[in-house]
Chains A and B, each alone.
Chain A
Amino acid sequence: MFLIPGWLISILTFPGVIAHEFAHRFFADWAKVPVYQVCYFRVGNPAGYVIHGPVKGLKNSFLISVGPLIINTVLCALLTFSAIFPMFILEAAEYNWIFILLAWIGFSIGMHAFPSNEDMENLLAEVKGAKQSGPLLWSAKLFAGILRLANALRVFWFDAIYAVLASLALPWMFGLL
């Protein structure tokens, strides 16, 4: 297996880390949750973080925890969309450098779409704290389990595979694949 240290991947894909933390911050502000500290990017583990106050309401907790998955996936699909045509569908030998930039930024953002395990813990704690039971609790648990699995599979480049799939979403919707 091809292993690259996490900090090196974070440096190479730093736009994704910034977008991930930006999404947390954006949704925390949107949910009127006080944000005390934000690190959009650093060389270390974690590569970025947002420290915020207690979250009120399950919807807000969901948005703050899962925000990066939504924002990063959408941005990845949009940014890579036009770059995919000359680079991969038409396989042009020469193309504008802007497409390389877009493909790198978009792919990097897609690679950092998954919420961290800590984000999922926060969401589950909120679901339990809200004394939710039944389908909502089970769905939250299932969702958290899937994302934990996705995070564990990062060692097999699952984050990169996800970014590729997100990049192919729009061409597929346009019937070009």
Chain B
Amino acid sequence: MDEENLQNIPALPPHKYPLWVKLFAGVIVVATLYSLVLLPEYLVTAKKMHAAKEAYAMRDYSEAISLYSYVLETVPSSKAARIGAAEAIFANGDVSDDEIGLGLLSDITLGESEWSRITQVMPAEYQQYFGDVKY
């Protein structure tokens, strides 16, 4: 549209938006505020998760298990925490808690890389309890 044609059109009043745009913005604001209320808990949990991974990498398995337990208390369905906790439990050399490790892995589907991680520390005799999933 050239400038000549534009001069025949009245300019829109500044900062006046259609009702549906305001409603849309309102939905975004409410959703954001609600998520910000939930954010601190998730942020702390994610930091614990990060610390758990670091503890595992440093072979501090008891610390890793403790941190993963915290994560699972807050987000019981966290697949990453369940796998991480099981990994640390199998790696700690104490067979008395292996059943807990197996329990953490029940009812979840492991990807190839996750299975590879677990089998590095899981005693071979437990591997018979796991089967391939066909899609």
Contact = CB atoms under 8 A, between A and B. Distances in A.
Interface of A: 15, 18, 22, 25-26, 29, 32, 34-38, 40, 51, 53-54, 75, 78-79, 81-83, 85-86, 89-96, 98-99, 101-102, 105, 171, 174-176
B35 A176 contact: no
A99 B35 contact: yes
A14 to B, nearest CB: 10
Interface string B66-99: 0000010001011111000000000000000000
A26 B79 CA distance: 42
Contacts of A105: 28, 31
Interface of B: 1, 3, 6, 9-12, 14-15, 17-18, 21, 24-25, 28, 31-32, 34-36, 38-39, 42-43, 45-47, 49-50, 71, 75, 77-81, 108
A38 B15 CA distance: 12
Contacts, number: 103
B71 A90 contact: yes
A81 B39 CA distance: 8
B14 A35 contact: yes
Contacts of B12: 34-38
B45 A78 contact: no
